[in-house]
């Protein structure tokens, strides 16, 4: 055993990436002191069920706890936020004044939901965001009280999943999105059009191409109404702001790292970069908080807010944390996510940003069962399936291998290939994949 005075490895962020990173350290033979710091009071839990099964009432929020490896042997510091990092002294400062020394640090502080602005009604009761299990539990209680109408602001994955759950519960829903379709950024408006059909078939009042300007409340401070840019108003007594997420990096101010609300920049080996661009060999990052150069897409900086990345990147960072300086391996990852909504199982691989073409290679959009591939300048860069995931792994391999577009011809079940324009909105300021 390691002497108790040894600093050992500290993990900040007790969620998916933190837990999986810590487990990987043990798997790779690390036997020293291992401390996991988390600002939530809970042991690591899983977020994907929150916007699906917890809202629907099929699972309680406390049933989302992640399984833990029996060989973890970690010291937990839960309900304690890390508030500062002193890299010169290799000390992590916690909110209660404690100072934790470290030999190596894994930053896995993830992201937080972007709130509705306080000045536009964000402090009214009945206005929610959905990121953690407390949010999901509170939202579930509010849904059980049968709101007259739920307004969902933002048609990303969480907005659409929440809309789907509300309709399953029979609650009236309006969904407002600035783009022509939901999921326009991640899937393009052509595939987003299939979601529009699902929303409308489920009875969602979908308002595309407009924005909520402000929320208004009654004398008791309860939300009652939203004003839209198109001049209309929506009467709603429950609002879910599904506006995406910002990375939890505020606590790193003053640490001298390249960090902002879009992420903590790392090198290809998951080492955090200092403000001068040099890698700190004692500080690694993984999961939603990390922004790193992705080899498959020309080394452009991305941060990926998906479950699979949190697991893989944390395991990769853990491996490098224990390896010698000359043996730091680059993190080569094919991003992937899934979603379930309106009875459809959506799975996607790759990064579709910048796609200039789209081919439906299996099934059809009309049947809402299909597999489509995104191309850019003649190369296959991403694929999405709606209830048609059987061949997705083959397309994922082709995308990872940089195959031409479309990558596989004459495949089993392939009837005819339609090549179309994917219809992406203009790019955002930074290159990011958002789950929210
Ligand atoms: C509602 C919801 C549904 C989702 N559904 C899907 C899905 O269907 N498919 C998919 O691929 N992905 C999905 N995701 C995304 C996936 O859950 C995330 O990518 C994953 O949780 C990232 O894990 P993480 O550990 O990097 O970050 P997080 O899960 O955000 O965990 C970070 C942890 O660090 C803590 N923390 C932050 N700051 C500090 C600090 N200063 N000190 C101490 N602790 C701190 C946070 O409170 C949190 O507990 C969903 C996410 C949400 C919110």
Structure-block tokens of residue 387? 């209830």
Distance between Cα 7 and ligand 1 center (Å): 26
User: Bridge-partner residues for 212, per DSSP?
Assistant: 228
Evaluate whether 23 touches 68 at the Cβ level (below 8 Å). Answer: yes
| Cα–Cα dist 417/407, whole Å | 11
Q: How confident is the model at residue 435 (pLDDT cuts 50, 70, 90)?
A: very low
Q: What are the extents of the domains in the chain?
A: 9-112+246-327, 115-243, 343-420
> Which residue of 20, 48, 54 sits with most ligand 1 atoms within 8 Å of its CB, as the best mutation to test the pocket?
48
- Kindly report, residue by residue over 279-331, the tens digit of the pLDDT: 999 999 999 999 999 999 999 999 999 999 999 999 999 999 999 999 999 99
Distance between Cα 370 and ligand 1 center (Å): 29
**Percentage of the chain with pLDDT > 90?**
91
Atom from ligand 1 closest to the CA of residue 136: 1
Write down the pLDDT at residue 58.
95
Distance between Cα 13 and ligand 1 center (Å): 9
With 90 as the cut, is the pLDDT of residue 417 above it? no
Average pLDDT over residues 258-279: 98
Is the CB–ligand 1 distance for residue 111 below 6 Å? yes
Average pLDDT over residues 139-149: 98
Decide the pairing of beta strands 104-107 and 279-285.
parallel
| Cα–Cα dist 100/91, whole Å | 6
Q: How confident is the model at residue 340 (pLDDT cuts 50, 70, 90)?
A: very high
Is the CB–ligand 1 distance for residue 249 below 6 Å? no
> Which residue of 288, 340, 345, 389 sits with most ligand 1 atoms within 8 Å of its CB, as the best mutation to test the pocket?
288
Is the CB–ligand 1 distance for residue 337 below 6 Å? yes
Distance between Cα 392 and ligand 1 center (Å): 25
Average pLDDT over residues 421-432: 72
- State which CATH number among 3.40.1480.10, 3.30.390.30, 3.10.580.10, 3.40.50.300 fits the domain covering 343-420: 3.30.390.30
What are the φ and ψ backbone dihedral angles of 329, each rounded to 5 degrees?
-90, 140
> Which residue of 61, 246, 266, 307 sits with most ligand 1 atoms within 8 Å of its CB, as the best mutation to test the pocket?
307
- Kindly report, residue by residue over 348-399, the tens digit of the pLDDT: 999 998 899 999 999 999 999 999 999 999 999 999 999 999 999 999 999 9
The class of domain 115-243 in CATH terms is alpha beta
Write down the pLDDT at residue 5.
60
Average pLDDT over residues 176-187: 96
Evaluate whether 358 touches 382 at the Cβ level (below 8 Å). Answer: no
Is the CB–ligand 1 distance for residue 193 below 6 Å? no
Rg, C-alpha atoms of the chain: 22
Atom 16 of ligand 1, residue of closest alpha carbon? 307
Is the CB–ligand 1 distance for residue 15 below 6 Å? yes
With 70 as the cut, is the pLDDT of residue 181 above it? yes
Q: How confident is the model at residue 407 (pLDDT cuts 50, 70, 90)?
A: confident
- Kindly report, residue by residue over 35-85, the tens digit of the pLDDT: 999 999 999 999 999 999 999 999 999 999 999 999 999 999 999 999 999
User: What is the rounded average pLDDT for all residues in the chain?
Assistant: 95
Average pLDDT over residues 208-217: 97
The reply to whether 343-420 shares the fold of 115-243 is: no
> Which residue of 16, 111, 263 sits with most ligand 1 atoms within 8 Å of its CB, as the best mutation to test the pocket?
16
Handedness of CA 350, 353, 355, 358 (dihedral sign): positive
- Helix (H) or strand (E) holding 347, with range, is strand 344-350
- What is the CB neighbour count within 10 angstroms for residue 309? 27
Write down the pLDDT at residue 432.
44
Atom from ligand 1 closest to the CA of residue 338: 9
Write down the pLDDT at residue 429.
56
Distance between Cα 16 and ligand 1 center (Å): 7
Q: How far is CA 78 from the centre of its chain?
A: 22
E-assigned strands of 103-185? 104-107, 111-113, 127-128, 150-153, 173-177
Write down the pLDDT at residue 3.
52
Atom from ligand 1 closest to the CA of residue 49: 3
Q: Output the CATH code of domain 9-112+246-327.
A: 3.50.50.60
Give the global pTM. 0.95
Q: How confident is the model at residue 2 (pLDDT cuts 50, 70, 90)?
A: very low
Distance between Cα 391 and ligand 1 center (Å): 29
Is the CB–ligand 1 distance for residue 16 below 6 Å? yes
With 60 as the cut, is the pLDDT of residue 434 above it? no
> Which residue of 15, 290, 337 sits with most ligand 1 atoms within 8 Å of its CB, as the best mutation to test the pocket?
15
With 80 as the cut, is the pLDDT of residue 431 above it? no
Is the CB–ligand 1 distance for residue 156 below 6 Å? no
Lowest mean pLDDT segment, chosen from 6-10, 126-130, 173-177, 251-255: 6-10
Q: How confident is the model at residue 428 (pLDDT cuts 50, 70, 90)?
A: low
Residues 6 or more apart whose CB falls under 8 angstroms from that of 51 comprise: 130, 136, 157, 158, 161, 162, 165
With 70 as the cut, is the pLDDT of residue 32 above it? yes
């Amino acid at each position: 055993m390691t002497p108790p005075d040894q600093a050992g490895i500290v993990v900040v962020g007790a969620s998916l990436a933190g837990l999986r990173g810590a487990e990987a350290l043990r798997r790779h033979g690390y036997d020293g002191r291992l401390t996991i710091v988390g600002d939530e009071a809970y042991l690591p839990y899983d977020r994907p069920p929150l916007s699906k099964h917890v809202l629907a009432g099929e699972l309680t929020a406390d049933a989302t706890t992640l399984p833990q490896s029996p060989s973890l042997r970690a010291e937990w510091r839960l309900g304690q936020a890390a508030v500062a990092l002193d890299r010169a002294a290799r000390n992590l400062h916690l909110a209660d004044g404690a100072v934790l020394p470290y030999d190596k640090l894994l930053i896995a502080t993830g992201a937080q939901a972007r709130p509705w602005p306080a000045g536009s009604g964000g402090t009214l009761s009945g206005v929610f965001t959905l990121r953690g299990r407390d949010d999901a539990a509170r939202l579930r209680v509010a849904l059980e009280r049968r709101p007259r109408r739920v307004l969902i602001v933002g048609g990303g994955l969480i907005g659409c999943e929440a809309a789907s759950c509300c309709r399953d519960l029979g609650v009236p829903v309006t969904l407002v999105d600035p783009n022509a379709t939901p999921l326009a950024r991640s899937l393009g408006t052509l595939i987003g059009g299939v979601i529009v059909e699902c929303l409308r078939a489920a009875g969602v009042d979908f308002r595309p191409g407009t924005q909520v300007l402000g929320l208004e409340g009654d004398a008791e401070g309860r939300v009652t109404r939203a004003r839209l840019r198109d001049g209309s108003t929506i009467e709603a007594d429950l609002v879910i702001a599904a506006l995406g997420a910002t990375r939890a990096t505020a606590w790193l101010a003053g640490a001298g790292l390249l960090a902002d609300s879009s992420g903590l920049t790392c090198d290809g080996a998951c080492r955090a970069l200092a403000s001068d661009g040099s890698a700190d060999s004692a500080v690694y990052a993984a999961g939603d908080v990390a922004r790193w150069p992705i080899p498959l897409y020309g080394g452009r900086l991305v941060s990926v807010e998906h479950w699979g990345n949190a697991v893989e990147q944390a395991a990769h960072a853990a491996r490098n944390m224990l390896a010698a300086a000359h043996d730091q391996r680059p993190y080569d990852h094919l991003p992937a996510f899934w979603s379930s909504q309106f009875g459809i199982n959506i799975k996607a691989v790759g990064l579709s940003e910048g796609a200039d073409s789209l081919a439906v290679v299996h099934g059809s959009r009309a049947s809402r069962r299909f597999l489509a591939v995104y191309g850019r300048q003649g190369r296959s860069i991403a694929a999405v399936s709606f209830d048609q995931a059987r061949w997705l792994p083959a397309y994922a391999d082709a995308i990872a291998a940089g195959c031409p577009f479309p990558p596989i011809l004459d495949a089993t079940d392939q009837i005819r290939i339609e090549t179309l324009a994917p219809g992406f909105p203009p790019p955002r300021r930074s290159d990011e994949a958002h789950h929210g």
